[in-house]
Amino acid sequence: MSNWESAMIDADRNKDWRERLKASISHIKWSESLQPIVDKIMTNIQLDVEDGCVLFETNNLNELGHLANLHKIAMFGNHAYFNSNVHINQTNICVLACRFCAFRRGPKASDAYAMSIETYLSELKKFSSFVNEVHSVGGLHPEWDVDHYCDLFRKVKEVHPHISIKALTAVEIKHLSQVSSLSIKDTLLKLRDAGLTSLPGGGAEILDDDVRQIICNGKESSQEYLDIHETAHAIGLPSNCTMLFGTIETAKQRVEHMIQLRDLAARTKGFQCFVPYPFLPDSTRLPMAQLSTGQEILRVIAISRIMLDSIPHIKAYRMNIGDSMAELALQYGADDIDGTVKQESIMHLAGSKTPLDYGVNQLAKLVTRSGNIPVKRNTIYTEFEEFVPAKQPRRLPVV
């Protein structure tokens, strides 16, 4: 087993990945639709919206996946990353009502909840001996302000100093700044000083305000999402970014979404990971959603890898796409899967059946089955450790 560290900006990515990629793609005979894209990659020309749309239209998914996987191999070899974390969704009470959301409740709903700091800590205590990250997102509680979260984060760090806090999506940050009458920057500074490590990427949905108006009216605008992440990066809080696909967006809107994130990442170097995930329809209010097939999920993963050269990691978010699809995604350009998780409501209420009781050995096995070497990482992708799954006792032959 080996340990190593990297600067967050590269997050373990090979510095010479472009040259490695060129060496691996130059001798392959590509189809007529992909060859012009490969030619651009060979001459360091960044792909544009039109190229992204060609990738969405290309017929040969396996060829697309191969190109994406060669990107991944050039960047990370056969490493694939995971972490040991727990999700705690602190409240489902929300002042908004996004149409794709199966999780939120009004304050008077019989199953509405808002964890006290004590309850949150006792939940975390159940897992703290074997996780190093807590991932917390929730509804926009009408009364909780930034001081509530600062108290919570201080307590978490006091009791569990080894645990990194990845919490609060961009819309939660915006809501806290409004409830607390603070600027976005001052809100983030207070949270950072209280112990917040990084921001998850949730809430990007599709960065197109016409789409947002229909699927998540009242949420932060596309520009606000980008500005909040830019402000976080500027004060030393790295973040992830996401894309919810399979609602009502077009392929072009997906590509434009990716390019906005790619441009911000190129400026700030603060995005660690892109997490694309399909809309799950259970208990939601979007009957017109197009939904995504397995092929579409793999296509989006592959295109993310090819388009997003300024964001190091692409995550196969197994909480949403399931373990079988996550295993395949690790061969279609993804290099990262979500961690042990242990409990999760947002995707499961919308229909996810992904198991929640995984330990690191099971995760490592999933990675190994995909043909990769499992590497355990920390929250901010600066510490890595190759992980060798414990040997299982051999089964006795049946006689």
Question: 140 or 337: whose CB is closer to ligand SF4?
Answer: 140
Q: Give the span between the Cα atoms of 173 and 33, in whole angstroms.
A: 42
Site for ligand SF4 in 75-94 (CB under 6 A): 94
Q: Is residue 244 involved in binding ligand SF4 (CB under 6 A)?
A: no
Nearest CA to 232 out of 204, 194, 200 is that of 200
With contacts defined by CB under 6 A, how many residues of the chain interact with ligand SF4? 12
Q: Is residue 104 involved in binding ligand SF4 (CB under 6 A)?
A: yes
Sequence length of the chain is 399
Q: Is residue 41 involved in binding ligand SF4 (CB under 6 A)?
A: no
Taking the complex as a whole, the smallest distance from the CB of residue 219 to ligand SF4 amounts, in Å, to 6
Residue with the two structure tokens 């919308």: 350
Taking the complex as a whole, the smallest distance from the CB of residue 298 to ligand SF4 amounts, in Å, to 25
Q: Which of 52, 65, 139, 200 binds ligand SF4 (CB under 6 A)?
A: 139
Site for ligand SF4 in 210-239 (CB under 6 A): 216, 219
Residue type, 37: I
Q: Is residue 171 involved in binding ligand SF4 (CB under 6 A)?
A: yes
Nearest CA to 331 out of 374, 373, 302, 355 is that of 302
What are the residues whose beta carbons fall under 8 Å from the beta carbon of 15, sequence distance 6 or more? none
Token pair belonging to 378: 């920390």
Nearest CA to 227 out of 288, 192, 184 is that of 184
Part in contact with ligand SF4 (CB under 6 A); list of ranges 35-43, 60-68, 79-87, 99-107: 99-107
Q: Which of 9, 23, 42, 97 binds ligand SF4 (CB under 6 A)?
A: 97
Part in contact with ligand SF4 (CB under 6 A); list of ranges 56-64, 77-85, 98-106, 304-312: 98-106
Q: Which of 76, 81, 82, 103 binds ligand SF4 (CB under 6 A)?
A: 103
Part in contact with ligand SF4 (CB under 6 A); list of ranges 25-33, 61-69, 96-104, 270-278: 96-104
Question: 23 or 97: whose CB is closer to ligand SF4?
Answer: 97
Q: Is residue 98 involved in binding ligand SF4 (CB under 6 A)?
A: yes
Question: 81 or 103: whose CB is closer to ligand SF4?
Answer: 103
Distances (CA, A) of 3 to 14, 265, 334, 338, 386: 16, 27, 22, 20, 7
Taking the complex as a whole, the smallest distance from the CB of residue 92 to ligand SF4 amounts, in Å, to 7
Question: 71 or 219: whose CB is closer to ligand SF4?
Answer: 219
Question: 231 or 284: whose CB is closer to ligand SF4?
Answer: 284
Q: Which of 11, 80, 101, 124 binds ligand SF4 (CB under 6 A)?
A: 101
Helix and strand tally (H, E) in the chain?
16, 12
The answer to whether residues 319 and 338 touch, using CB atoms and an 8 Å cutoff, is yes
DSSP 5-41: E--TTTTT--TTHHHHHHHHHTTS---TTTHHHHHHH
Taking the complex as a whole, the smallest distance from the CB of residue 172 to ligand SF4 amounts, in Å, to 8
Token pair belonging to 195: 């112990």
H or E element that contains 321: helix 318-321
Question: 84 or 284: whose CB is closer to ligand SF4?
Answer: 284
Distances (CA, A) of 194 to 128, 328, 364: 19, 39, 33
Q: Give the span between the Cα atoms of 47 and 259, in whole angstroms.
A: 9
Question: 216 or 273: whose CB is closer to ligand SF4?
Answer: 216
Q: Is residue 96 involved in binding ligand SF4 (CB under 6 A)?
A: yes
Q: Give the span between the Cα atoms of 118 and 271, in whole angstroms.
A: 32
Part in contact with ligand SF4 (CB under 6 A); list of ranges 101-109, 207-215, 317-325, 361-369: 101-109
Question: 96 or 248: whose CB is closer to ligand SF4?
Answer: 96
Question: 87 or 104: whose CB is closer to ligand SF4?
Answer: 104
Strands (E), 188-292: 196-198, 239-245, 271-278
Identify the DSSP state of 396. Answer: P
Q: Give the span between the Cα atoms of 73 and 42, in whole angstroms.
A: 16
The answer to whether residues 93 and 113 touch, using CB atoms and an 8 Å cutoff, is yes
Q: Is residue 348 involved in binding ligand SF4 (CB under 6 A)?
A: no
User: Where on the chain is the footprint of ligand SF4 (CB under 6 A)?
Assistant: 94, 96-98, 101, 103-104, 139-140, 171, 216, 219
